[in-house]
Structure 1
Amino acid sequence: MTGASTYRMAPLIRGTLVLLYLVLVLPLAPLAPPSLKPLLLVALPLGLLLVLAISSEQVVLNDDGIAVGHPLWCRWLVRRGWQLPWREIRSITPVATSQGGRVFYLRAADGSAWLLPQRVERFDDFLARFAGHSGLDTTAIGRISPPWTYRLLAILCALMLSAELILGLWLWHQGTAAF
C-alpha cells in the first residue's frame, strides 16, 4: 500500500459532541446572574472552540507508520499526539472498558503502548490499511461504541436543543427572559 491516508473523527461522533456541548451550555447565559453574563459570553465561544479542537483529532497512515495528532490550527492547544513506525509495532492488546466495550493498544518494540483510534471515519478502510501496513490481524477490532449510541445521543441532544430554543423564544416573546 502506498500513499498517505488521513482519517478524521467520524462526523456522527464529532457532531454529537458539539451538540452535547451546546445543549449543556447555551442555557447558562440566560440563567446566569447579570454579573456573570459578560464572562459567559466570552467563555462559551472559547469552550466551543476547545470542543472543536479536541474533536478534530486525525490519524494518518503512510508507508512509514501511523501518526495521531491534530491539525495545525489547534495543535498548540491540545495534546501533541504520537507516531509509531510500522517496524516498531509488535502486537495489538485488547482491554475491556468499564462500560463493557473494548479498546485496543498497539504494543511497540520498546514496551510502550499506544491507544488504537476507534472513532475515525471510514473505520473499515482504516482497519484494512492498518492491517496491510502492520501485518497484524484486525478482524477482532470494532468501534469502541456502536453507531446507534451516538445516533440516539444526537437525536436526544437535537430534541433538547430545540426545546431550549423554543422555550427561550417563548420567554423572550413574553418579556420574562433574562436576556
Structure 2
Amino acid sequence: MTAVASSLSFRISPIIRLTLTLLYFALTVPLPFLAVASPVEFPVSLLIVGLIIGLILLQGGLSQKVLVDEEQIAVTYPWWFPDFLQKGWSLSWSEVEQLKLRTTGQGGLVYYFVTPERDRAYLLPMRVAGFAKLIQVVEDKTGIDTQDVRPLAQPWMYLILLGFTLILLLVDTWTIWTALTQGFLA
C-alpha cells in the first residue's frame, strides 16, 4: 500500500455543482412571477424566502467533501448544513472488507463500502472531481481491485443537462421579459 500525501480532499465536480445550481434557478426563478400573475393568493415574499432557503440547502448538499488520509475515508458537509438532511461519515481503511456493487432504480451502478458488520454500508462518493485518484487511493489502502469502478454519471451527461438548462434559462428570461414589457404582471 502506498502512502497518501498527508490528507487529500475531493469536492463534488464543478460541472455538477454548476449544472445543478443553474437548473435550480431555471426551475424556480419564474415562480414568483407566476405567483403574481396567478389568481391564487399566496404571499410572494414567503415564496422568495422559501426559494432562498432551498438554494442554501442545495449549496450545502453540493458542498460535500471527501477526505482521505492514512487512516480513513470521511465524507463531510459544512458545519451549518443540518445533519438530518445528510449526515457525514468516516470509515477506517482497516474496516473496509469489500466494495459491493448495487444497481440503482434508474439502471446505474453504485458501490458501497462493506464492513465486517454487515448491517452497515457506506456509499462510495462517485460525483467528485478527481474520481480516478480517489479510486486509486481506495485500491492502495484496501487492496480491493477497483479497475471496473466507474463514476455514476459521466461528464458528458452533465454537459447535456447543462445545455438544456441554459436553453430553459433563456426561455425563462424571454418569458419574464415579455410579461414585464407587455404589462402582464402589472
TM-score range, shorter chain: over 0.9
Partner residue of 2:55 out of 44, 48, 51: 48
Number of residue-to-residue matches in the alignment? 178
1:90 alignment counterpart = 97
What do you get for the CA RMSD once the two structures are aligned?
1.6
Matches within 5 A, 1:16-165: 16-32=19-35, 33=40, 35-74=42-81, 78-111=85-118, 112-165=120-173
Amino acid at match of 2:105: S
The answer for unaligned runs of 5 or more in structure 1 is none
CA distance in 1, matches of 2:78, 2:146: 27
- For 1:64, give the aligned amino acid: E
CA distance in 2, matches of 1:99, 1:9: 21
Q: Which runs of structure 1 show a deviation greater than 2 angstroms over 4 or more consecutive aligned residues? A: 33-36, 71-80
Give the alignment's TM-score, normalised by structure 1.
0.92
**Residue aligning to 1:8:** 11
TM-score (norm 2): 0.89
Percent identity between the two aligned chains: 32
Aligned amino acid, residue 123 of structure 1: F
Unaligned runs of 5+ in 2: none
Once the two structures are TM-superposed, the CA of residue 119 in structure 1 deviates from its matched residue by 0.6
Q: Deviations over 1:76-133 (max 9, x none)?
A: 5742311100000011111122222210011112222111111111111111112112
Q: Secondary structure at the match of 1:74?
A: coil
